[in-house]
Amino acid sequence: MKLNWKSSNLKQNINKTIVSCALVGIATVSFAAKDKGPVKGQQRIIGGVESAADAWPFMTALVGAGNDALSGQFCGASYIGDNYIITASHCVDGADPADLEVVIGIHTLSNEASEGERIAVSEIIMHEDYNSATTDNDIALLVLESEPANAQAVNLISEEQMAELNNGDLMTVMGWGTRTPGSQDSADTLHEVEVALYDQQQCNTDYSNGVTDTMVCAGFAEGGRDSCQGDSGGPLVIEINEEWYQTGIVSWGLGCAQPNAPGVYARVAYFDSWLAGKLSGISASKAQNYGIVEVGFNADMEFNLNNGPDASLNVGTVTISDATNLSQPTIESDSCTGATLAVDAECSVVVNVVADTAGEASFAISYPTDNTDVGAVVDRTNLTVVPETTFDAASAADMPGLKFYTPSSLGWESQSDSTSTGASALQSPVALEDNQSSILLTVVEGPGTFSFDYRVSSETNYDFFEVSVDGELVLSESGNMDEFVNQEIELSAGTHRITFEYIKDFSVSEFEDRAYIDNVVAPNIDNGGGGSSGGGSMGWIALALLSLIRARRFKA
């Protein structure tokens, strides 16, 4: 069984200038189909029909800024009123608002001159708990620079309305994507297909417990009708009392229209309270995204409460709760408690967090407010804490003085069979099995250039080697590489956490099935001249767009 993630990989012809720039100096990913079915890419309509020209006035195309709709469309979305668009987080993960524009109400992409309304994006609001590995909380709001003049919004279904639906009830999904599984048969005109609400428990079984409460499934056990490559972020809707309500957002699935593999969508009703808060303009945010940290982590983390544009907001006593696997986080400074925030104002809280034990850790910060629709705004922080290696990883990577961290179980290893320099190098664990991943972390002080040599030998498009800096993806590689490649990353001043991860999907192993790292060179550490560099550096365009062009995959 293979997952075909309904991801934000750009259409082959989107934004060719920007994509080519983004790929300078970084690893590229091949998107050739395999015998298991289509590659993990965008999702498009299978088994459907062309939509009537005026059937879905809320339907929206996400387009690379400056590109025409036909060549620039890479994801779907829907207009929900005022100056808001709803889409999938994976469509905009890593993007800057300046990279995006939307075309609302368009039917034929090549007819943009006479159809739809193009508006720039001023803000991207991804769900704070979006997980790119599991695709949990795959929802995002786009704030437009202006309200559309003539657009018609779709209703968002409530949890109460969702509870009234029955398995087998027909819903409609639409998009401009591929109409034939495994092909590049993308559509110029909007297409739609009816799919049935699928039993949630059966869907979870079909996907080996990969379906959570944030998701809803739609399709047929026999397959045949589905969204597919290109429809990511688009709406799944149902008619209630002659009005259309959005029930889901195209997210992921196994292949397209395969038996016992329904489409999986972000469950709109689950996000009732999140949407209410964001649409009010009241939201919580973090100044830093740590994610994976080392045992011994001790840092002051800044959190912000942002008021909306409608009215002043009174804030009660800020509290920290539900601390798990952490020394009790303590509030170091707090400008929120007792504050009255003017419209569009913000306050901040600084929390000291200490992580001394390996494993999953978390805590929540709560801001009580007098807004009756929002109530308390709760911001949860999740951390993965990894211990220092029990072997001399620094010597294996040719960087004495640099500490590395990896889990005690299924952690990275030292080996001597495949190296770029010296007698040894680091590799992802040989024992890693399907649906597992392994992390290697190092902490580096900037400014300066961090570089390393890497080689990947994996099942192309399904098992991945990924590198992140401070939680932001900067490199994604899949396939079989014969030689090591050098990679450079420019770091700003301050402390940076660089994570290397090898990720396997549900099944099948090919080639050596691992990733290798060698010849690490870190700034502000003397390694005695043992390393050498000279690879490509990561430009800002690459950082902004890499997650838009990488393939998706599943891991536990």
Active site residues: 90, 138, 232
Q: State which amino acid sits at residue 238.
A: I
What is the spatial distance between Cα 6 and Cα 218, in angstroms, rounded to a whole number?
A: 14
209 CB contacts (<8 Å, ≥6 apart)? none
First to last CA, the chain: 15
24 CB contacts (<8 Å, ≥6 apart)? 536, 539, 542
Q: Write out the two tokens for 311.
A: 């009215």
Q: State which amino acid sits at residue 108.
A: T
Which of 172, 205, 220, 148 lies closest to 49 in space, CA to CA?
172
- The single residue listed with the structure tokens 């090898």 is 502
Rounded alpha-carbon distances, angstroms, from residue 354 to 38, 326, 327, 329, 351: 44, 6, 6, 7, 10
Q: State which amino acid sits at residue 177.
A: G
CA 217, 218, 223, 229 torsion-angle sign: negative
What is the spatial distance between Cα 520 and Cα 486, in angstroms, rounded to a whole number?
A: 9
Q: Give the DSSP per-residue string, 230-246.
A: B-TT-EEEEEETTEEEE
281 CB contacts (<8 Å, ≥6 apart)? 306, 307, 308, 309, 310, 344
What is the spatial distance between Cα 175 and Cα 61, in angstroms, rounded to a whole number?
A: 9
DSSP conformational letter for 36? T
- The single residue listed with the structure tokens 């047929």 is 220
What is the spatial distance between Cα 57 and Cα 107, in angstroms, rounded to a whole number?
A: 9
Vertex 497: Cα angle to 454 and 501 (nearest 5): 40
Beta bridge partners of 386: 294
Per DSSP, the three-state class of 312 is: coil
DSSP conformational letter for 409? S
Q: Do 88 and 265 meet the contact criterion of CB atoms below 8 Å apart? A: no
488 CB contacts (<8 Å, ≥6 apart)? 25, 449, 450, 451, 533, 534, 535, 536, 537, 538
Q: Do 100 and 155 meet the contact criterion of CB atoms below 8 Å apart? A: no
